[in-house]
Amino acid sequence: MCNRCLDPQEETHLCEPDECCECSGLLDAFSGCQILPCAHKIHEDCAITMIQNGIHTCPICQRPIFDSPG
């Protein structure tokens, strides 16, 4: 949990956890979360595996996972 959106009086977590766009596993600050140029989030290990397998687009929107030089 991020501990920034906890309601101290209710002791509940107010935000929804994010999911990895590749494996749908939950993301947190300790899972090596990466944010792709399209703003979808992915585990660092999932991103590495995708790149090693020749996949260079977001699994959700198919945009390139690398920013093109401008």
Confidence of residue 65 (pLDDT cuts 50, 70, 90): confident
3-state secondary structure the chain: CCCCCEECCCCEECCCCEECCCCCCEECCCCCEEECCCCCEEEHHHHHHHHHCCCCECCCCCCECCCCCC
Whether the model pTM is above 0.85: no
The chain-wide mean pLDDT, for the chain, equals 75
Confidence of residue 18 (pLDDT cuts 50, 70, 90): confident
Q: For 25-51, how does the pLDDT look when each residue is reduced to its tens digit (9 = 90+)?
A: 777 666 678 888 888 888 888 889 999
Q: Are 26 and 17 in contact (CB under 8 A)?
A: yes
